[in-house]
Every structure is written in C-alpha cells, then in structure tokens.
C-alpha cells in the first residue's frame, strides 16, 4: 500500500498528487476555455480489473483536449476510478478537507511525445482530467452501461470490452476548473501531470456506488482470502508552495 511506496524515490518528491483544494488559497487565473474533440462520440474501451482499480483503455478512438492553458494537444489513453468502502471516503483529491465517494481520472498524453510511456517522463507529458462525485438520491442513467460492465471484470486480471456512448456524457462541465502541477498517484508517482479538476461534481447514487465495491482486489488477507477492491485512494500530499489556479469566479485571492 501507499506506506511502502518510498521504494520509488519520486513518490517522496515535492510535486506529488493528490492534494486538498483549499478554496481560500487558490489563485484566480483566466486560463481560457478547454476544448475537447471526439468526446461526444462512441469510444471502444478495453476494460481491466488490474487489482487496484478498474481501467478503461482507449486506443482505437482518438479523443483530444487542448486550450485551457495547456501547451499542445493531449490525447486520451485511459480512464479509471478511485473509491471508498462507504460514501464518505473514496476520492483522491479533497475540497476544503472534504472527501467524495468516487473520483474519475481521464489520463491524456501529449501527442507530440508519441506515446503514454514516453510522455510520462516529461514534466508536461500528461494531462489528467479529474472529476469528483456526489451522492444523489436517484441513479445517474449515464453510468448504467458502465456499471453493468464492472460485473464482467469482478476479479483481478479479468478483461472485457465496452463501447461507451460518449465520454462527455459521464463527465461534468469543465467551464470552471482547478489547475495545478502534480504527479501520478500510484508508483512510480511520475511528476509529469498537469491536473485539471472540474468545479462541478457528478451525481451518482449510493446504490450505483455498490457496483464498484463488489470488485475484488489483488490483495490477500491473513486467511488467504482476496479483499474487496475499496479505498484505492492515495492520501493528500503536501503542496510545498505550489499554486492552485482556478477560473471559478469569486474564489481565492
């Protein structure tokens, strides 16, 4: 778990993720609008339970993000989730100290670097689009197909294919967002990520959240039983003087 990640020296660096977003400490900045291409079209996903999250790899469809203060065009490689054992915990990023039950990370790499692996070694190589989920009374219908797909990858190393109707349909608006420079939240904790976190949350019901908690992790308890895949989030890291920028009016200094 997170405690023995110091085997990777970068995990102890000063540009680590996730962080707490303190709305009183953010800096107002007009970074401009983010633009998305192909986000509204269907995308073929190779879905894997990798033992510590469920990951949706996208290779057949080219979807990109640019603008919003990003220098270059960033292409979607995969998206995955972080969640908790109950509705009060689960997200990696927190807002004013508050955790959310679920967080989505859409991982992009800078096209000019050619591949995810090559981009991950560059300080501006990756751009992760993140969003936090809030519990709603009613189900979020945009997630029905995705949650059904989780049943097919209940166990570690299981894979399936899923065509998402549109990535945009499961994401919030990015008219308002937070931006900071950080890292991957799992080893090797590469300090190569430009983070963009929507100021708007995504609704999901408690019932829908259970679909994530039914997944099985690759970790084994003292009796040799595989543990439920829950609480797969890294604790918030020290800012070390980094600035968090936002274009959300009326916040910060």
Report H helices in the chain.
Answer: 116-119, 144-150, 167-170, 206-213
DSSP 35-62: EEESTTS-EEEEEEE-SSSEEEE--SS-
Q: What is the pLDDT of residue 1?
A: 52
Indicate if 52 belongs to the active site: yes
**Both tokens of residue 131?**
């969003």
* Partners of 34 in the β-ladder: 67
Handedness of CA 128, 190, 73, 108 (dihedral sign): negative
- Contact, 166 vs 39, CB < 8 A? yes
CA distance 160 to 152: 7
Classify domain 2-18+33-239 at the CATH superfamily level.
Answer: Alpha carbonic anhydrase (3.10.200.10)
Residue 66 burial by Cβ neighbours in a 10 Å radius (0-12, 13-18, 19+): middle
Full pLDDT tens readout for the chain, 253 residues = 554 545 668 899 999 999 999 999 999 999 999 999 999 999 999 999 999 999 999 999 999 999 999 999 999 999 999 999 999 999 999 999 999 999 999 999 999 999 999 999 999 999 999 999 999 999 999 999 999 999 999 999 999 999 999 999 999 999 999 999 999 999 999 999 999 999 999 999 999 999 999 999 999 999 999 999 999 999 999 999 999 999 998 776 6
Residue 33 burial by Cβ neighbours in a 10 Å radius (0-12, 13-18, 19+): exposed
Residue with tokens 């709603």: 136
Q: Which member of 52, 93, 105, 108 is catalytic?
A: 52
Domain boundaries, the chain: 2-18+33-239
pTM: 0.96
**Both tokens of residue 177?**
């967002």
Q: What is the pLDDT of residue 249?
A: 81
């Amino acid at each position: 778990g997170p405690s023995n990640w110091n085997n990777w020296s970068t995990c102890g660096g000063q540009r680590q993720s996730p962080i707490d977003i303190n709305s009183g400490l953010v800096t107002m900045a007009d970074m401009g609008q983010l633009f998305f291409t192909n986000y509204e079209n269907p995308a073929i996903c190779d879905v894997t339970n990798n033992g510590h999250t469920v990951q949706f790899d996208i290779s057949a469809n080219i979807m990109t993000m640019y603008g919003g203060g990003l220098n270059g065009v960033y292409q979607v490689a995969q998206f995955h989730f972080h969640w908790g054992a109950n509705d009060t915990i689960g997200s990696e990023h927190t807002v004013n100290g508050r955790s959310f039950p679920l967080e989505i990370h859409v991982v992009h790499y800078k096209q000019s670097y050619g591949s995810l692996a090559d981009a991950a070694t560059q300080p501006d190589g990756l751009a992760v689009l993140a969003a936090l989920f809030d519990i709603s009374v009613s189900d979020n219908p945009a997630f029905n197909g995705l949650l059904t797909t989780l049943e097919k990858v209940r166990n570690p190393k299981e894979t399936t294919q899923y065509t998402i109707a549109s990535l945009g349909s499961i994401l919030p608006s990015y008219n308002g967002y937070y931006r900071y420079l950080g890292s991957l939240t799992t080893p090797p904790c590469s300090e190569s990520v430009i983070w963009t976190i929507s100021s708007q949350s995504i609704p999901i019901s408690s019932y829908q959240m259970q679909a994530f908690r039914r997944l099985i992790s690759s970790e084994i308890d003292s009796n040799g039983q595989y543990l439920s895949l829950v609480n797969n989030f890294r604790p918030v890291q020290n800012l070390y003087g980094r600035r968090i920028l936002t274009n959300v009016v009326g916040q910060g200094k």
